[in-house]
Structure 1
Amino acid sequence: MRRGWMLVLALWLALCGCDEEKKLTNNNGPGVGELGGPCHPDDTCNTEALICVDGVCEAVVDPCAGVDCGEAGQCRPSPFAEGEVECVCAEGAFVALDLACTFGETLTTREFFGQELVVELETRFYYMYVPSSYDHATASPLLMDLHGTAGELPELAYGLDAAKAAAEEYGFVLVRPRSRSSQEGDWIVYRWDQNQGDTERNHAFITALVTAVSRRVNLAPERLYLMGFSSGTNQTARALADAATPFAGFGFVGGGLWIANQLQDLGRVYLATGFRDYMRTYHYNLTGRLDAIGFAPERRFVREFDGGHELYGFFYPEMFAFFDGGERPVAGTPASPWERETFVDTASLVTVLTAPDGTVFAAGTGNGLFRRQAQDSWERVTIAGTSAFPGRTLTDLCFTEDGTGLGIGEGQLVRSMDAGATWIHGPRVGEVDSPYFGYQFLNGAACADGAVVATGYWQGARSDDGGVTWADVSFDAGYGQRAQGAVVATAPWGTWTAGGYWQYLGRSDDGVVFSPAEVPAAAPAEWFYDLVAVGPDRWIAVGDHGTILVSDDDGASYACVVCDGAGENLYAVGFAGDNGLAVGGHGAALLSRDGGATWEDVSTGLDGFLGDVVWLSASEALVVGEAGLVLRYAVEN
């Protein structure tokens, strides 16, 4: 019996031992090479979805799982940090300024009007032009162009064709944002500081717009540039006051700044505000603020010109070339037969004339007034007293028959009571009509019959006592407003004429009441900058875009002589008999030998502007201009 129990126990133990061994080797767990199981001896697993880690087969984890790189992006392990991933752009895509990948705009057109962008819960608008050379594969520069004060669709106003032409030539993307606006009477006025707080709101819009545009076209982040005209200059200054601005170039045309923000010492700046522009005040504000922060001269390009408030096409190419590569036009050397005369100063000269006693005077920047003592010999004239606007530019001079001399420009007045022997600063000429500046911003003046008549922005004045007191002269422009004047001229037979903006030419018999003259529709000039009486009842008028007109009815109407619009701006014209010389921007000079009927190109070969001309004799002229330039020109028979 005892032996039987022992046999049963042995059999039970044997059976239990077999089951335990079976349990250890076949317990329904992962097998070799399976997920969670031991690796094969060669450290492999059964499928590519598994990887051997420390002898155990584990699932391969996709490091990009859950990573969204967008439609135009792809995720991949980072080649720089183990275990990290990065997004890269898919083929044909590029990186926007916010580092997002984008396939960009489908460029079925290159010109985009009325584009929308919501910023701070407000729908804003802009215009974009993409040059024909653009391709998404290559990052391009950007020029953002801020308009001046305008009505509807302001982003299309002021120089659009010239801006597009420059975009084609230099390959930059052109963007023109639209400012905010408000209702003024019957007009909707768009201006960058039109409403309280607009400067900051527009700054946020412009900053956001750069990024938004970079999702549509491939932009080079180091080649983003901003410019503004008129009120757009102050908005441009706001960007220059932002240490985090995306822009590397800042252009100021026809203005400067009036915000108090601290400017940053960043990038390059381009400045172009004419000597006959009422926004010169803000230009001086800007240059003073740049000086205060030590902004380097080599990063400034100041384009001087003797013009009014205008956005000229030549600004775009030279501005972009300076922003993008620091390029400046070559100064040049005088072409034959021009001869340069030694001058005593580096002031830019805007006006020159001969006093009744034959002495030649010139005037210009920095309250500069100069007397010619002999050929190649000039002296700076001391002006007693204190200027109403120290450092500003004298833009015109004239003498009455009794030897009273007057000089005006940018709000200032200088006087001489002794034929130019001594001079004194006078007070600013007060406004006599609607207030604009707190003084009259006068640009041009002429003297005759003991009187001086001056014209400027929306106002004019006449003095019959040598500039002591002044009376109103309206210069009616004929379109319901007073003219923005640039010049007044007189004839020996008593006629007065005037010229200025919006093709203004006027005529007066008495220097008190001026009536608009008839201007040919074909004339391309926006501004007429000078007038001269050539002979009985004959006048020559010159203006921008190379315009030359002639009147043979004593200034009542004019006809085209040169109206192709292809020439440089002409700032001055003078005659001695039949010989005439018209001079202007970029060293331009035209000669007439027949009283203004025909003209030939006798340009100087210089880049700087020529401001005025006076004839020393019937065959020799003296021309003054930029940076102390004085030239003589002898007419060859």
Structure 2
Amino acid sequence: MKTTLPGLLLSAAVLGAALFAFSPRPLPAFAATAIQADRLQINGLAKAGARLVAVGERGVILLSDDSGASWRQAAVATDEASALTQVFFISPQVGIAVGHDGWILRSVDGGAHWSEVQFDRKHSDPLLSVWGNADGLVFATGSFGQLFVSHDAGATWVQQKTPADDRHLNAIAGDASGTLIIAGETGTLLRSTDRGATWEKRPVPYQGSLFGVLKLADGDWLAYGMRGNVLRSTDRGETWTHVDSHLGTSYFGAAQLADGELVLVGQGGAIVTSRDDGQTYAVRKVGGVQSLAAVVDVGHGELALGGEAGVSLLPVLPTLPKAPPGAPHAVAGPPSS
């Protein structure tokens, strides 16, 4: 049978197409996947120098080098996909993140890369808070009375006993004098005055859960928690008094800004502020569905807020004056989301 020229050309074309289809060649360049920081639950925020670091669900760690305008994902060497609850930097380079399943991560390059230090999915108890100082002394607290301490900037950890029994220890903070305060459930407040070597329970006027603790610029201390309860100490945590914050919603995060303004955030997106180191408060925002868990001073007149709606920026607005007794408290806003 004769093969015609058109037939030969068609066969050659088919063979050429097949060879092209299956031959190795460079893949086309795809745009990098954008990180939508407003669609992840963010539980903790911190600053590593000028960089913002956010941690949250599925072990995600986000970084921003433009004051929160854009975000990218940090590199985590071991992806356990457990939720991260808090992050803290003891220097612009060295940071510690903690989370569920006893997960502890460490970064030595300002949050760009993270290595796993500890993980225990078998017991699965979460760590809830972390704090440390530039000397390398770092503490992590968690559920059922967990307290871990590191003396080498988070590289290794040992567990420490406290008088908290099996109470959840929700937050820890310290100062340069060696005073440390731990806040927890059922009115638990533990204090150490010897850099965490020993701990004592302190009596408080509220027996519900406390979710956070903060050392203020004037040397006083603040603890906050369920149903809008705020406690204040003027004697390094020896005694505590109740302060009216004007809201009955729970507070989960707090920060003191460079100008001294105190900001508390919490349930339903609530935000209250204080201009006198936590003695009196004004309500900036109340009412909403998605709660806030963390706040940090970005600078340039903005706050970064973290919570169920991810990370958002909020302008720092002048706080309204305190309303006279019996008058309704105004809301300054609404803030941008």
Is the shorter-chain TM-score for this pair beyond 0.5, marking a shared fold?
Answer: yes
Looking at secondary structure, tell me which structure has more helix per residue.
Answer: 1
Q: Is the 8 A contact 2:137 2:153 kept in 1?
A: yes
Letter in 2 for 1:460: L
For these two proteins, the number of residue pairs brought into alignment is 253
1:491 aligned to which of 216, 228, 239: 216
Q: Is the 8 A contact 1:400 1:450 kept in 2?
A: no
By how many angstroms is 1:341 displaced?
2.7
Q: 1:210-359 residue pairs with structure 2 within 5 A?
A: 337-344=70-77, 345=79, 346-356=81-91, 358-359=93-94
Q: In 2, distance between residues paired with 1:376 and 1:502?
A: 37
Q: In 1, distance between residues paired with 2:205 and 2:243?
A: 10
By how many angstroms is 1:381 displaced?
1.2
Letter in 2 for 1:443: N
C-alpha RMSD of matched pairs (Å): 2.9
Corresponding residue number in structure 1 for 2:240: 514
SS of corresponding position for 1:545: helix
Runs of 4+ in 1 over 4 A off after TM superposition: 304-307, 595-598
Q: 1:116-515 residue pairs with structure 2 within 5 A?
A: 337-344=70-77, 345=79, 346-356=81-91, 358-374=93-109, 376-382=112-118, 390-400=123-133, 402-410=135-143, 411-427=145-161, 429-431=162-164, 438-448=165-175, 449-458=177-186, 459-477=188-206, 482-509=207-234, 510-515=236-241
Q: Is the 8 A contact 1:366 1:392 kept in 2?
A: yes
By how many angstroms is 1:566 displaced?
1.7
Letter in 2 for 1:420: G
Q: In 1, distance between residues paired with 2:298 and 2:181?
A: 24
By how many angstroms is 1:380 displaced?
0.5
Corresponding residue number in structure 2 for 1:312: none
2:322 corresponds to 1:588: no
Letter in 1 for 2:215: T
By how many angstroms is 1:519 displaced?
1.5
Q: In 2, distance between residues paired with 1:395 and 1:382?
A: 14
Once the two structures are superposed, what CA deviation does each residue of 1:227-282 show, in whole Å capped at 9, x if it has no partner? xxxxxxxxxxxxxxxxxxxxxxxxxxxxxxxxxxxxxxxxxxxxxxxxxxxxxxxx
SS of corresponding position for 2:171: strand
Looking at secondary structure, tell me which structure has more strand per residue.
Answer: 2
Q: Is the 8 A contact 1:398 1:407 kept in 2?
A: yes
Letter in 2 for 1:450: G
Letter in 1 for 2:169: L
Once the two structures are superposed, what CA deviation does each residue of 1:577-607 show, in whole Å capped at 9, x if it has no partner? 333111111x333312436866421xxxxxx
Unmatched 5+ stretches in structure 1: 1-303, 308-334, 432-437, 602-637
Corresponding residue number in structure 2 for 1:562: 285
Unmatched 5+ stretches in structure 2: 1-40, 45-67, 320-332
Letter in 1 for 2:168: F
Corresponding residue number in structure 2 for 1:600: 336
Letter in 2 for 1:579: E
SS of corresponding position for 1:572: strand
SS of corresponding position for 1:502: helix
Once the two structures are superposed, what CA deviation does each residue of 1:410-440 show, in whole Å capped at 9, x if it has no partner? 021110123323222223x224xxxxxx433
Q: In 2, distance between residues paired with 1:596 and 1:532?
A: 16
Higher relative contact order (CA 8 A, sep 6+): 2
* Structure (1 or 2) with the larger CA radius of gyration: 1
By how many angstroms is 1:483 displaced?
3.5
Q: Is the 8 A contact 1:406 1:413 kept in 2?
A: yes
Letter in 1 for 2:295: V
Letter in 2 for 1:561: R
Q: In 2, distance between residues paired with 1:455 and 1:574?
A: 20
Q: Is the 8 A contact 1:395 1:408 kept in 2?
A: yes
By how many angstroms is 1:475 displaced?
3.1
Percentage of matched positions with identical amino acids: 24
2:302 corresponds to 1:574: no
Q: Is the 8 A contact 1:356 1:399 kept in 2?
A: no
Distance of aligned partners of 1:572 and 1:415 in 2 relative to their CA distance in 1, 3 Å threshold: same
Q: In 1, distance between residues paired with 2:237 and 2:93?
A: 25
